[in-house]
Amino acid sequence: MAPYVTEFDLYEPQSADDRELPIQKIAVVGSGSWGTALARIAALNAAEKKGFDHEVRMWVREREIPGQGLLTDVINSTHVNHRYLPDVPLPHNLVAVSELADVVKDATLIVLVVPHQFLTPVLEELSKPGVLTTGARAISAIKGVEVAGAEIYTFPWLIEKKLGIPCSALGGANIAMEVAQSEFCETTIGVPSKDDAALWHAVFDSPMFRVHPIEDVAGVSLSGALKNVVALAAGFVDGMGYGGNTKAAILRIGLLEMAAFTKEFFPSSSSLTFSHHSAGVADLITTSFGGRNRKCAEAFIKTGKTFAQLEHELLKGQKLQGVATAEETYQFLHARGRTEGYPLFTKVYKISFEGMDPKSLFDDL
Ligand SMILES: NC(=O)c1ccc[n+]([C@@H]2O[C@H](COP(=O)([O-])OP(=O)(O)OC[C@H]3O[C@@H](n4cnc5c(N)ncnc54)[C@H](O)[C@@H]3O)[C@@H](O)[C@H]2O)c1
Ligand SMILES: O=P(O)(O)OC[C@H](O)CO
């Protein structure tokens, strides 16, 4: 039987003696819950697999932890990121560093995983002369989009343009704490070349975190962004007290809008990304049951508080991505005169920002 998905060849690192490739050095830019969970996997693999520098550096936005000292010192001495991934032991070859330029010094593989609203200053810093190593590659695990009027950009595209290096995308049904506790799951990497597929597969693949490389960089990145908008709709459904049938209907409609949006505005992407891969339907399911966007959207309906208040009260320093993405997506569709084509996305925006009655979610779907 023919395989139902196209996958690249897997990377088999050569032994230290006959290796032709240079040693790869991994840097992780971001240390929230997902940044720390991914850094943990990368550091475990770097310690075990041939072809990698043992030390993995992780960028930490420095802050004082009351009574304990600087966050980097606390992470490096306790080997736990108490603020964003509590109770998860981190490998000792994962080193927290507060200076971005030091994190990426000599790095050949750079994982970008900050909340999407904070990426711009990071790219400014990384694009300064001499900061990046020649031949470095990047991967974005960021879920969001950048909108400027009637234009929309994925983060891998922006990273490639700004840094002048190839950028892949990583996305899947990956709630950070579940991944960090080694519960079995899958992820998808969209890659621009076979070399990128091989390298990034080697960085992240492990028995409990299976990595599937595909060619659709834009599809993986957009799916991760747009599922956060649908997750808000799922939270609204929960907040209004409806059951599984209603939520399933919203997820089905949402998945169709995600795929249609990507096909309309990024025509080279593949519909298989949404129907077959973890970055598509699987991520939508997990996020709509266990994610932060769902949780805050449910509370938004039940309490009448603003999303900013709820983010502060419920997420303990973690960041909501879906509300900003709902606004950005709406602004883009409005600028293109295409809001009617995406009624679910449009209603999520209007309920979140314009006081629309949440029950209107179901009108004309
Ligand atoms: N948490 C998950 O389960 C998960 C899973 C998959 C993908 N993602 C995606 O990963 C990306 C990163 O999210 P996360 O969950 O790791 O972060 P998080 O929400 O857990 O943590 C917030 C992070 O933002 C940083 N931060 C706060 N203010 C900042 C500023 N002004 N400038 C720079 N950084 C600042 C904090 O230091 C912290 O590292 C997001 O796009 C998210 O959608 C998250
Ligand atoms: O907690 P959320 O809603 O930001 O979703 C987390 C991940 O994106 C799920 O894969």
| ipTM of the complex as predicted | 0.98
For 229, phi then psi, to 5°, come to -70, -45
Please check whether residue 294 is in contact with residue 238, taking contact to mean a CB–CB distance below 8 angstroms: yes
- As given in the structure block, the two tokens for residue 142 are 């960021």
Q: Is 189 near ligand 1, meaning CB less than 6 Å away? A: no
Per-residue pLDDT at 4 = 45
Residue to probe by mutation, ligand 2, list 293, 319, 320, most atoms within 8 Å of CB? 293
Q: Which residue, by CA, sits nearest to atom 38 of ligand 1? A: 32
The answer on pLDDT for 98 being more than 50 is yes
Q: Please report which helix (H) or strand (E) contains residue 211, including its range.
A: strand 209-214
Per-residue pLDDT at 21 = 65
Taking the centre of ligand 1 as the mean of its atom positions, its distance from the CA of residue 62, in whole angstroms, is: 14
Per-residue pLDDT at 316 = 87
Average pLDDT over residues 127-135: 96
Per-residue pLDDT at 10 = 53
Atom of ligand 1 nearest to the CA of 33: 20
Confidence at 3, pLDDT banded by 50, 70, 90:
very low
The answer on pLDDT for 218 being more than 60 is yes
Taking the centre of ligand 2 as the mean of its atom positions, its distance from the CA of residue 3, in whole angstroms, is: 29
Per-residue pLDDT at 365 = 83
Per-residue pLDDT at 364 = 82
The answer on pLDDT for 12 being more than 60 is no
Q: How far apart are CA 28 and CA 360, in angstroms?
A: 42
Confidence at 181, pLDDT banded by 50, 70, 90:
very high
Average pLDDT over residues 183-210: 96
Q: Which ligand sits closest to the CA of 114?
A: 1
Q: How far apart are CA 67 and CA 71, in angstroms?
A: 11
Residue to probe by mutation, ligand 1, list 40, 61, 185, 320, most atoms within 8 Å of CB? 61
Taking the centre of ligand 2 as the mean of its atom positions, its distance from the CA of residue 17, in whole angstroms, is: 41
Atom of ligand 1 nearest to the CA of 142: 41
Average pLDDT over residues 312-339: 96
Length of the chain: 365
Highest mean pLDDT among 116-120, 184-188, 267-271: 184-188
3-class secondary-structure state, position 95: strand
Confidence at 1, pLDDT banded by 50, 70, 90:
very low
Per-residue pLDDT at 11 = 52
Total-model pTM: 0.95
Confidence at 151, pLDDT banded by 50, 70, 90:
very high
Atom of ligand 1 nearest to the CA of 114: 12
- As given in the structure block, the two tokens for residue 285 are 């399911």
Catalytic residue among 25, 50, 161, 227: 227
Residue 43 half-sphere exposure, CB side, CA atoms within 13 Å?
22
Residue to probe by mutation, ligand 2, list 116, 143, 295, most atoms within 8 Å of CB? 143
Q: Which residue, by CA, sits nearest to atom 7 of ligand 2? A: 175
User: Whole-number mean pLDDT of the chain?
Assistant: 94
As for ligand 2, residues whose beta carbon falls within 6 Å of it are 143, 173-175, 228, 231, 283, 286-287, 291-293, 321
Residues 6+ apart with CB under 8 A from 22: 108
Q: Is 140 near ligand 1, meaning CB less than 6 Å away? A: no
Per-residue pLDDT at 65 = 87
Active-site annotation holds for 227: yes
The answer on pLDDT for 16 being more than 70 is no
The verdict on whether residue 30 carries a ligand-binding annotation is yes
